[in-house]
Amino acid sequence: MTSSDDVLATPLQYLKGVGPRRAADFAHVGLVTVEDLLYRFPLRYEDRSRLQPIASLKAGQSASVTGRILSCHLRSTRRPGFKIFEALVGDPSGALRVTWLNQSFLRDVFAPGQHVVLFGPVEMRVGGLQLTNPQYEILDDEEGETIHTGRIVPVYEKTGSVTPKIQRKLVYAAVQRLPADLPDHLPEAIRARFDYPSRMAALVAAHFPPDGASLEALNQFATPAQQRLIFEEAFLFQTGVMARRRSAAAERKPMPVGVDDRIRESARRVLPFKLTPGQKQALKEIVDDLQRPQPMNRLLEGDVGAGKTIVALLAALVAMENGLQVAFMAPTEILAEQHFFNISQLLRTSRFRVALLTGATASARRREQLAEIEAGTIHLVVGTHALVQGDVRFKQLGLAVIDEQHRFGVLQRALLRAKGLHPDVLVMTATPIPRTLALTVYGDLDVSVIRDMPPGRLPIRTLAKPESRRDEVYQFVRAQLDAGRQAYVIYPLVEESDKVDLKAATEMADHLAQEIFPAYRVGLLHGRMKQDGKEHVMKAFAAGELHILVSTTVVEVGVDVPNASVMIVEHAERFGLSQLHQLRGRVGRDRHQSFCFLLYQAPLSDEARGRLKAMTDTTDGFEIADRDLALRGPGDFFGTRQAGVPTFRLVDLIRDRALLDLAQREAAQWFDRAAPTPAAVDRLLHGWEQRFKLIEVG
């Protein structure tokens, strides 16, 4: 390790001014080393190079001023409990009143004599001009001029006890210590072609912009220094994707499959309906992959209800006809059971044997099944995602299907490889990825998309209603039940251990059964029920013995009861958009007109209102995904804990789309032209998967 690496690798706790408390606060947001600190852009930049003399301020503008606190106090108002903190701040040109509303704690922050920088709106009030609710920083007298004022300064997000000002000081100290020969990750040819500054210069300028830098460009993260650092991250990411693709292409599966008329006939025999054009196209792409010597890495994307299962099953059939075994994995036991049930039905006239292997399988039975899987007398195993872990040994695993997994399947693939298996892998998801992100997120997967729906489906009618109007909804549901349909009522359950919500769901089930729908049978399903209890309820609902299913979100993915035509979501304001879309997808699976009622508790936040509006505006999953992305921003789009979705330090998936594309082209060219040795690639990508959190570690 060179000394320059040492600087970047230094744990933050060894920086002067960072004690255990601040180190812990930093660690909490993922900042552990000096490198982490420097690869976190400021939230924004503030121009303090031209601080305005107080005497020159005008109402209606935002201004930065610096001066001393002349006096300050907390003042009560006529409104009970409403307090104003007021300060008089002076500079050589004059004095200005500054007020903060309802921030009583400022009493302990400010004191007369302090040197402060303030940034905020200037307003005209009865007593003259004033600055209202400004951002503030208190300066120490000896420092300041070079770091905190007299220049464009970086303003960081507050992290626990670390204020923007403390962080500015730490970053300043850190960039001072960067050696001039800091190694640069970017290939020199690329750096030169785009005229990017060196890594060292870029780090300095991104935090402490040189005189004359454009404030506007800085705040759009469009200066050469910022662009270079963003590009660097995108380039490393895309290079890793490319390397992964290349190593996958060099892999060989045990046996490519063949397709002939006998196999086509066998597929026709199990098919209960005609495939849609979208399904046919997806199947063709998959079967083409199966016939290649390299293992397939394909994502099958299709909106809820598009009919992905049958496509996967037909692919499974092709594998089995070639003497290979298939693992079919679902995210929950309920879904695994449902797949098992459907697949067993479809394959009942075939010679293939299907088994269900879940945590609920009794141990004697499990042992028998494991022996049969190892002997190859069981051809298709349905289970949860845990299927590839642990003690399951296949005789000849040819295809792994991973259902409802928006998480790349990276983990499963890694597990399979660790077992020395290189099967074809088909990952299925109903979470439409906005086109803008697909390339980045699924960079090393081939993608098939089913865009059409099975024939005869009517778009689901969706209505958002305040809870106070639930009687109308119940009346409507009764008419549907009278007509022979079934209904879901979904309760939000933030965590399965959330006892209060669980109680609410249980009480709701009782209330509906006894008071609202006494003539109908109501079932309750939640994640904390015993396995056989869940199974019993699900089967009864699927068989039409239960008319209403009150459930927590365990039914969210995949459950298929075509006769159900009403979905009621309680507290719809608490659900995310993609979750609402998934829930709605439980109905509208047959030729009946279906309905989705989103009951909400007023008042709604703007974001919740936006989500409900998106749901009532459209049933198109792709449009929902785009709206979701717009509402939440990419950081939240996939949820933070989703393994397999890259986490970037600097790249913003929306803002930096063009740079991501550019980086992808450059990475491909670099591989082709520079023909890097495997060792060079390894060096560049050292820790790549951990870095972008593409695998779950530990």
Residue 373: how many other CB atoms lie within 10 Å: 22
What is the smallest separation between the CB atom of 403 and Mg ion, expressed in angstroms? 6
The binder of 12, among Mg ion, ligand ADP, none, by C-beta within 5 to 8 A per type, is none
Which of the ranges 101-109, 203-211, 300-308, 392-400 carries the binding residues for ligand ADP, by CB under 6 A?
A: 300-308
Residue selected from 190, 304, 380, 651 as contacting ligand ADP according to rule CB under 6 A:
304
Question: Residue 122 or 399: which CB sits closer to ligand ADP?
Answer: 399
105 three-class SS:
helix
Its sign, for the CA torsion 382, 383, 388, 389, is: negative
**What is the distance of C-alpha 402 from the center of its chain?**
19
What is the smallest separation between the CB atom of 426 and ligand ADP, expressed in angstroms? 13
What is the smallest separation between the CB atom of 329 and Mg ion, expressed in angstroms? 12
Assess 430 for contact with ligand ADP (CB under 6 A): yes
Its sign, for the CA torsion 277, 283, 286, 288, is: negative
* Secondary structure (DSSP) of 243-259: HHHHHHHH---S-----
What is the smallest separation between the CB atom of 16 and ligand ADP, expressed in angstroms? 57
Assess 558 for contact with Mg ion (CB under 5 A): yes
Residue selected from 22, 308, 422, 547 as contacting ligand ADP according to rule CB under 6 A:
308
Question: Residue 274 or 683: which CB sits closer to ligand ADP?
Answer: 274
Residue selected from 197, 307, 398, 588 as contacting ligand ADP according to rule CB under 6 A:
307
What is the smallest separation between the CB atom of 274 and ligand ADP, expressed in angstroms? 6
Residues 223-282 that bind ligand ADP (CB under 6 A): 273-276, 279
The binder of 273, among Mg ion, ligand ADP, none, by C-beta within 5 to 8 A per type, is ligand ADP
What is the smallest separation between the CB atom of 312 and Mg ion, expressed in angstroms? 9
Residue selected from 589, 592, 627, 693 as contacting ligand ADP according to rule CB under 6 A:
589
Q: Which residues contact 665 (CB under 8 A, 6 or more apart)?
A: none
What is the smallest separation between the CB atom of 527 and Mg ion, expressed in angstroms? 19
| Cβ–Cβ < 8 Å for 254, 422 | yes
What is the C-alpha end-to-end distance of the chain, expressed in Å? 25
x/- letters, 111..130, toward ligand ADP (CB under 6 A): --------------------
Distances (CA, A) of 195 to 189, 224, 672: 10, 8, 22
Tokens of 596: 């989705």
Question: Residue 228 or 385: which CB sits closer to Mg ion?
Answer: 385
Number of residues forming the site for ligand ADP (CB under 6 A): 19
Assess 306 for contact with ligand ADP (CB under 6 A): yes
x/- letters, 445..474, toward ligand ADP (CB under 6 A): ---------x--------------------
DSSP 491: -
Which of the ranges 95-103, 293-301, 552-560, 687-695 carries the binding residues for Mg ion, by CB under 5 A?
A: 552-560
CA-closest candidate to residue 406, choices 437, 439, 453, 442: 442
The binder of 164, among ligand ADP, Mg ion, none, by C-beta within 5 to 8 A per type, is none
x/- letters, 552..571, toward ligand ADP (CB under 6 A): ------x-x-x---------
Distance, in Å, from the CA atom of 634 to the CA atom of 655, rounded to the nearest integer, reads: 10
- Counted residue by residue, the chain has a size of 698
x/- letters, 63..92, toward ligand ADP (CB under 6 A): ------------------------------
Assess 581 for contact with ligand ADP (CB under 6 A): no
- Burial of 164: CB neighbours in 10 Å, binned 0-12, 13-18, 19+: buried
Tokens of 629: 């992305």
Distance, in Å, from the CA atom of 549 to the CA atom of 487, rounded to the nearest integer, reads: 6
The binder of 305, among Mg ion, ligand ADP, none, by C-beta within 5 to 8 A per type, is ligand ADP
Element (H, E) at 76: strand 62-76
Question: Residue 240 or 302: which CB sits closer to ligand ADP?
Answer: 302
Question: Residue 68 or 280: which CB sits closer to ligand ADP?
Answer: 280
Which position's Cβ is nearest ligand ADP?
307
Distances (CA, A) of 79 to 82, 319, 464: 5, 75, 37
The binder of 651, among ligand ADP, Mg ion, none, by C-beta within 5 to 8 A per type, is none
Distance, in Å, from the CA atom of 274 to the CA atom of 268, rounded to the nearest integer, reads: 9
What is the smallest separation between the CB atom of 450 and Mg ion, expressed in angstroms? 11
Tokens of 127: 């007593």
Question: Residue 544 or 562: which CB sits closer to ligand ADP?
Answer: 562
Residue selected from 134, 302, 432, 634 as contacting ligand ADP according to rule CB under 6 A:
302
Question: Residue 402 or 631: which CB sits closer to ligand ADP?
Answer: 402
Distance, in Å, from the CA atom of 382 to the CA atom of 695, rounded to the nearest integer, reads: 24
Angle (CA) 584 588 592, round 5° = 145
Tokens 């208190």 locate to 138
Paired sense of beta strands 62-76 and 83-91, if any: antiparallel
What is the smallest separation between the CB atom of 359 and ligand ADP, expressed in angstroms? 23
Assess 305 for contact with ligand ADP (CB under 6 A): yes
Distance, in Å, from the CA atom of 538 to the CA atom of 544, rounded to the nearest integer, reads: 10
Distance, in Å, from the CA atom of 310 to the CA atom of 547, rounded to the nearest integer, reads: 27
Q: How many CA atoms lie within 13 A of 494 on its CB side?
A: 7
Distance, in Å, from the CA atom of 223 to the CA atom of 491, rounded to the nearest integer, reads: 48
| Cβ–Cβ < 8 Å for 211, 49 | yes
Question: Residue 67 or 558: which CB sits closer to ligand ADP?
Answer: 558
Residue selected from 310, 433, 659, 662 as contacting ligand ADP according to rule CB under 6 A:
310
Number of residues forming the site for Mg ion (CB under 5 A): 1
The binder of 310, among ligand ADP, Mg ion, none, by C-beta within 5 to 8 A per type, is ligand ADP
Question: Residue 313 or 522: which CB sits closer to ligand ADP?
Answer: 313
Distance, in Å, from the CA atom of 287 to the CA atom of 440, rounded to the nearest integer, reads: 25
Residues 172-191 that bind Mg ion (CB under 5 A): none
What is the smallest separation between the CB atom of 545 and ligand ADP, expressed in angstroms? 19
| Cβ–Cβ < 8 Å for 185, 237 | no
| Cβ–Cβ < 8 Å for 292, 286 | no
Distance, in Å, from the CA atom of 324 to the CA atom of 399, rounded to the nearest integer, reads: 8
Site residues (CB under 5 A) for Mg ion? 558
Which residues contact ligand ADP by CB under 6 A? 273-276, 279, 302, 304-310, 430, 454, 558, 560, 562, 589
